[in-house]
Amino acid sequence: MLANSEVRGAVRLADVCREVATGWAPEDYRRLREELSTYTMWVGEFLRSGEALPSHIEGSGGIAVPICKEVTPEQLFAVLGESVRYQVREYRDYWVTVHYPNPQPVVTLLPKALPGPPRKLEELCARCGELLGVPVGGPDGMFLAWLLPGFSWAMHTDHDNAYELVATRVHVPLITNPQSLYVWGHRRQDGGEVWEVCEHLEAGKAYRVRVDVPHTVVNRHATEPRLHLILDVREK
């Protein structure tokens, strides 16, 4: 049990996280990661540039990369309304945006020209949709989440803000380590967090996770990043 956790029993692992039995072999996940390498190459290029990475954690940070139809920063944030503040940096192949839907800055890398929909990703979305009985992923419902060592978010939900509005997602770990955890729990009235369920999501698998329950993610490894493919589950 982690040091800053309390056990209340209000959240059970089976209620918030289940493996999706895709039937995929390790080779399928390897090919998926290979087909997404252009996106991860851009992330690596930006990190190697030495540019400041806005973050609420000194020396760490996170980057989201949408895998969708081509969109400019203006088009992306117009959907979110005038209340969302954002900044843009332009590079040859992509923009890097920072927006503030809450006190913690969210960094997004937006490719200017997409390499085309990865075939294995389309296959995975179709397979998960077949198993779950609802559409999964789609042009505006899939992205990569890159967490640097030492990064975590404050506990939150994803179903009640203007730019996500989802209750369930499929997580596919592509790069991970045993110190990378998905956590569910609750926030106390004094602002502190109670971690009730902590689970490491293994590479080479897919998981259906609840994001309408207060949760966070943390990468406690000192040197290794964490990369997940995240797909929205289009429940009614």
CATH number at residue 130: 2.60.120.10
In a domain, residue 3? The reply is: no
Give bridge partners of residue 180 from the DSSP assignment: 219
In a domain, residue 1? The reply is: no
Q: pTM for the whole thing?
A: 0.91
In a domain, residue 76? The reply is: yes
Closest CA to 119 of 24, 35, 39: 35
In a domain, residue 8? The reply is: no
What is the residue whose two structure tokens read 């990064």?
Answer: 151
In a domain, residue 5? The reply is: no
Single-letter code of the amino acid located at 71: V
The domain of 21 spans 13-232
- Where helices occur in the chain by DSSP H, the ranges are 13-16, 26-35, 37-48, 73-78, 119-132
Domain count across the chain: 1
Residue 169 to residue 232: CA distance in whole angstroms: 5
* Residue 236: strand, helix, or coil: coil
Distance of CA 2 to the CA centre of its chain: 22
96-145 residue pLDDT tens: 999 987 779 999 999 999 888 899 999 999 999 999 999 999 888 999 99
In a domain, residue 18? The reply is: yes
Contact by Cβ (8 Å): 232, 190: no
DSSP code, position 90: E
% residues pLDDT > 90 (the chain) = 72
Q: Which two tokens stand for residue 194?
A: 């109670």
% residues pLDDT > 70 (the chain) = 93
Task: Name which residue leads in pLDDT, 34 or 3.
Answer: 34
